[in-house]
A and B are shown apart, each in its own frame.
Chain A
Amino acid sequence: MSKYYLFQDIKKCIGCHACEIQCKSNKNLPAGPKPCQVIQVGPKFIGGLPKISFIFMPCFHCENPWCVSACPTGAMQKRSKDGIVFIDKDLCVGCKTCVSACPWGAPQWNPDIGKVEKCDYCMDRIDEGLEPACVTTCTTGCLKFGNVEDMTQIRRERHAEAVSSLEKSSF
């Protein structure tokens, strides 16, 4: 895994897709390829109420990415300093092997240039100390980007809040 973690606070996400748009506009992509995508699950009736959920799907930047080992040209690479899986488009020849190999559908086909596009956590922005494009426009602020160790803290705190209902506390 990369040393970063892109955390989506599912409770807050309203499925506005602003992240997708920002991602595509930052990478200047035509219709088709979506390096990140918000997948709608539901609506389903849970306890008589309709429930819906939006799951943010970027690339997971696997520890042992199949796309990298599948790529015959060495275009798909894992950055050694932080583990970001990215594609060097100059080397990509459009064989789509990575597209087939990835279990998560992360590599995306760009029909305009006949090459693959993929989430690289906007590594050019990261290197400049900025956040990935998707994170910057998240309307509800549910997308958070940072080091893995910092991201776990959010969940921990939330869980703590949930279990410690102060009003009804018997303490």
Chain B
Amino acid sequence: MAEKTCPVRKTVVYLSDQIDSGRLTDPKGRRISEQIMQLAEEIAEGAAGSDHLSAIDSLIKEYFYPKSPVQNQEIGVRLKGILDEHREVFISHIETKNCPSHDCGKLAPSPCQMACPAGIDIPTYLGLIAEGRDAEAIEVIRRDNPLPWVCGLICTRPCEMMCVRARIDTPVSIKFLKAFAAERAMSDRAYKNPEKKEANGKKICVVGAGPGGISAAYYLALMGYEVRVIESLPVPGGMMMVGIPRYRLPREVIDREVAMIEELGVTFSYNTVFGKDVTFEALKKEGYEAFFIAIGAHKAWDLGIKGEKEFPKVIEAVKFLKDVALGEHHVPGKQVVVIGGGNVAIDAARTSLRLGAEAVTIAYRRSRTQMPADIEEVEQAEEEGIEFSFLTIPKEIVGENDLITGLDCIKAELIQKQGSDRLAPVPILGKDFIIKADAVISAIGQYVDDEGMQVFDKMSWTRRGTIEVNHASMETTMPGVFAAGDAVSGPATVIEAIGGGKRAAESIDRYLSNIPQPRMPKIPIRHRTEAPFEMSASRKMTLKPAQMPMLSVDRRRTMFQQVELGYDEESVRREASRCLRCDICRRCGKCVEICRDKMGIDALKLGYMDFDDPSETDFRATSEKCILCGACAANCENKAIVIEEENGQRMLKLCGTILNKQEIQYCEECNAILPSAEYMQFISRKTGTAKKVTEKRLLCNNCQRKLGAKINVSTRPVNRI
């Protein structure tokens, strides 16, 4: 998709070439072409409605009127071909108002939104949060993600990875702003469910109450379906509840957001195992027409080393975390070794510490930089006193009787292996050592537990033991059965499961309405475009990234209280207004190029716009050189950079940031608005016409000419012979 020219843009360019070429000598053909081009342009600009495509279809038919010239028919055939092949892209442009190829410049999406697996309209809700409109922000987020509060605390934030602000200083702290808005809206009783459609009488069964299941249930309920969620655990949330420890995600957050889903009429059956307590057959008989499987990946991989099965104190991290989450607060041992390098390993280690373990070591076979765990998590673990043993391959769990005494390990070195882009740890012979331990927690990954899934007999599984789906629609190979979340991806993230659940909900609706499934993956929707938040260049530059206040380390080593305490309101508003609004400015760099190369002024220091080779950015530098000529604004396709005249001020603004501001001067003679003094100097320097007599006065061009002419007449009378 991204590497090819967008078919919508292609249509516009093709038609404009045809019209300009003069080959269209037939007036009717020319008229049809101009009308189609107009419609296609509107689609490319996000100004199209749902009727645009059918209007284009019927216009294309008009090309083939009796005795229509051959060039008309050629265009008709060509356009029909483009439309048949890429119909989804046209529909997607109309519906999502995003063009991922960036060819339709006005629909170029923001990188954060494209990075989000659930496709949240991030710039819009940041704009709302900056203005203190938290409930509206939550409403926008929940169109793509029903759990903004949960994600605001624990999301792996792929959006921040792509944040353009990072090229100036640090990414906008997108993740937490959501949590603040959700908490504030919840507290203000302004966190509301959207209006749901009238009940359509169809029933859907969701297996698993994790993020994928909850997400699908939410969107299906909104569409008017009756949804029942089957959950084997006594609590909602799946891995969010039993995998993520409470010091990262308090239970109340999950409970409150799940309560919002229940309010929509979704039924949750807890302590109910699919295939045991309820069967596929029985559910089908009850009238459930579609099934959504989001059972997660809860089974731990074995370490495959000696001693693993002999000692009771060799614990699987997922089981350990689940027991703790369900209330069994028992310390695993005094000296705990956790094997693994992912977030689960860190969670298990930090949980052990909070339960009273004296020493906790994480043994990982690669080095720090290769750890899949979040860097913040690793840092927080270190602050709490957890030790790391890198390049450590566990060899054997040693002990006496039933008691572990240590973990026998080998030192490893990292070697580049052919055909792999990840460095492989290779044991160094003879470099054995023992880490003292009385408990060993294995956290080397999970897989999907397929127990009870055999009833879905036509459903295929991948080689990795996950459910095979079409990723555009989340359909399994069995009609009427859909799947998402870790059960499809293997252990992954909450936000991916939420995105998958949402996609599945849409496909289930299409399946039950007999509409064919999409052929291409859904593109995130630009719900609206908020006006950018206005502020001075100095403020935009100097807004310091918010610092997360943390619980004291002593508390963190002893209790399950939330570690990240959250920003105060002022920091939240400030942080949200650091956003550069990449949904409006697509960073094509044309303004910079024109100002520097064409005008020779070089007032725009916007190095962040260059993706490959970012140079320095300083919004404040513009006012030093800018002559307010407006060439940048005239060439900005998206109206991201604009010149505005209001309240006696002339301002150059880039997405709300005031790059330059001047008092407007008026003509002394006729009171007309004058361009800036720097601009007039720029012109007179170029033309070399020092308007001597009038240069001391503020005059518009017309008055200058008029007065100049009078002066000429009086000082240079016509020579009469």
The 21 sampled A-B contact pairs (Cβ below 8 Å) are: A66-B689, A69-B688, A70-B686, A71-B686, A72-B600, A72-B686, A73-B599, A93-B594, A93-B598, A93-B631, A93-B634, A94-B630, A94-B634, A95-B599, A95-B629, A95-B631, A96-B630, A97-B629, A100-B680, A100-B701, A115-B634
The answer on a CB contact under 8 Å between B599 and A72 is: yes
Give CA–CA (A101, B600) in the complex, Å: 18
**Chain B residues within 8 Å of chain A by Cβ, number:** 20
Nearest neighbor of A72 in chain B, beta-carbon distance:
B599
Give CA–CA (A96, B686) in the complex, Å: 13
**Contact of A103 with B by CB under 8 A:** yes
- Min C-beta distance of B411 to chain A, whole Å: 63
The answer on a CB contact under 8 Å between A101 and B687 is: yes
Nearest neighbor of B682 in chain A, beta-carbon distance:
A97
- Min C-beta distance of B293 to chain A, whole Å: 54
**Contact of B675 with A by CB under 8 A:** yes
**Contact of A114 with B by CB under 8 A:** yes
**Contact of B422 with A by CB under 8 A:** no
Contact with B along A52-87 (1 / 0, CB 8 A): 000000000000001001111100000000000000
Contacts of B662 in A (CB 8 A): none
Contact with B along A88-116 (1 / 0, CB 8 A): 00010111110011010000000000110
**Contact of B458 with A by CB under 8 A:** no
Contact with A along B619-658 (1 / 0, CB 8 A): 0000000000111001100000000000000000000000
Give CA–CA (A96, B635) in the complex, Å: 12
Contacts of B375 in A (CB 8 A): none
Contacts of A96 in B (CB 8 A): 629-630
Give CA–CA (A69, B598) in the complex, Å: 14
Nearest neighbor of B593 in chain A, beta-carbon distance:
A93
The answer on a CB contact under 8 Å between B687 and A93 is: no
Give CA–CA (A94, B641) in the complex, Å: 14
**Contact of B510 with A by CB under 8 A:** no
Nearest neighbor of A114 in chain B, beta-carbon distance:
B634
Give CA–CA (A2, B503) in the complex, Å: 67
**Contact of B683 with A by CB under 8 A:** yes
Q: Which of A113-131 contact B (CB under 8 A)?
A: 114-115
Nearest neighbor of B675 in chain A, beta-carbon distance:
A100
- Min C-beta distance of A22 to chain B, whole Å: 18
The 4 A-B pairs at the shortest CB distance, nearest first, are namely: A94-B634, A114-B634, A95-B631, A70-B686
Contacts of B631 in A (CB 8 A): 93-95
Q: Which of B654-682 contact A (CB under 8 A)?
A: 675, 679-680, 682
Contacts of A115 in B (CB 8 A): 634
Contacts of B629 in A (CB 8 A): 95-97
Contacts of B701 in A (CB 8 A): 100
Q: Which of B667-721 contact A (CB under 8 A)?
A: 675, 679-680, 682-683, 686-689, 701, 705
The answer on a CB contact under 8 Å between A73 and B687 is: no
Contact with A along B381-425 (1 / 0, CB 8 A): 000000000000000000000000000000000000000000000
Contacts of A97 in B (CB 8 A): 629, 679, 682-683, 686
The answer on a CB contact under 8 Å between A93 and B675 is: no
Of B599, B630, B634, B688, which is in contact with the most chain A CB atoms at under 10 Å from its CB? Answer: B634
Nearest neighbor of A74 in chain B, beta-carbon distance:
B598
Nearest neighbor of B704 in chain A, beta-carbon distance:
A103
- Min C-beta distance of A163 to chain B, whole Å: 20
Could you say which of B635, B682, B686 contacts A94, with CB atoms under 8 Å apart?
A: B635
The answer on a CB contact under 8 Å between B686 and A95 is: no
Give CA–CA (A22, B222) in the complex, Å: 58
Contacts of B680 in A (CB 8 A): 100
Give CA–CA (A20, B630) in the complex, Å: 28
Nearest neighbor of A73 in chain B, beta-carbon distance:
B598
Give CA–CA (A70, B598) in the complex, Å: 13
Contacts of A71 in B (CB 8 A): 686
The answer on a CB contact under 8 Å between A101 and B683 is: yes
Give CA–CA (A150, B55) in the complex, Å: 55
Q: Which of B566-604 contact A (CB under 8 A)?
A: 594, 598-600
- Min C-beta distance of A86 to chain B, whole Å: 18
Contacts of B635 in A (CB 8 A): 93-94, 114
Give CA–CA (A95, B630) in the complex, Å: 6
- Min C-beta distance of A16 to chain B, whole Å: 25
Nearest neighbor of B686 in chain A, beta-carbon distance:
A70
Give CA–CA (A70, B686) in the complex, Å: 5
Nearest neighbor of A111 in chain B, beta-carbon distance:
B634
Known: A95-B599, A95-B630. 6 other contacts (CB 8 A): A69-B688, A72-B682, A93-B594, A94-B630, A95-B634, A100-B679
Contacts of B705 in A (CB 8 A): 103
Nearest neighbor of B597 in chain A, beta-carbon distance:
A73
Contacts of A93 in B (CB 8 A): 594, 598-599, 631, 634-635
Nearest neighbor of B632 in chain A, beta-carbon distance:
A93
Give CA–CA (A35, B120) in the complex, Å: 48
Give CA–CA (A97, B598) in the complex, Å: 12
Contacts of A103 in B (CB 8 A): 705
Give CA–CA (A92, B689) in the complex, Å: 22
Contacts of A73 in B (CB 8 A): 598-599
Contacts of A95 in B (CB 8 A): 599, 629-631, 634
Give CA–CA (A169, B635) in the complex, Å: 66
- Min C-beta distance of A96 to chain B, whole Å: 7
Nearest neighbor of A116 in chain B, beta-carbon distance:
B634
Contacts of B594 in A (CB 8 A): 93
- Min C-beta distance of A128 to chain B, whole Å: 12
Give CA–CA (A73, B593) in the complex, Å: 12
Nearest neighbor of B687 in chain A, beta-carbon distance:
A66
Give CA–CA (A70, B600) in the complex, Å: 13
Give CA–CA (A115, B634) in the complex, Å: 8
Give CA–CA (A66, B679) in the complex, Å: 15
The answer on a CB contact under 8 Å between B675 and A72 is: no
The answer on a CB contact under 8 Å between B599 and A70 is: no
Give CA–CA (A114, B634) in the complex, Å: 5
A69 and B630 in contact, given A93-B635, A97-B682 (Cβ under 8 angstroms)? no
Give CA–CA (A66, B631) in the complex, Å: 19
Give CA–CA (A115, B705) in the complex, Å: 24
Contacts of A100 in B (CB 8 A): 675, 679-680, 683, 701
- Min C-beta distance of A105 to chain B, whole Å: 8
The answer on a CB contact under 8 Å between A70 and B687 is: yes
Give CA–CA (A96, B676) in the complex, Å: 13
Give CA–CA (A95, B675) in the complex, Å: 11
Give CA–CA (A115, B635) in the complex, Å: 9
Give CA–CA (A91, B600) in the complex, Å: 14
Give CA–CA (A40, B2) in the complex, Å: 56
Contacts of A114 in B (CB 8 A): 634-635
- Min C-beta distance of B153 to chain A, whole Å: 46
Give CA–CA (A91, B598) in the complex, Å: 8
Of A70, A71, A100, A114, which is in contact with the most chain B CB atoms at under 10 Å from its CB? Answer: A100
A69 and B686 in contact, given A96-B630, A103-B705 (Cβ under 8 angstroms)? yes
- Min C-beta distance of A30 to chain B, whole Å: 13
- Min C-beta distance of A101 to chain B, whole Å: 5
Give CA–CA (A91, B701) in the complex, Å: 25
Give CA–CA (A97, B682) in the complex, Å: 8
Contact with B along A130-163 (1 / 0, CB 8 A): 0000000000000000000000000000000000
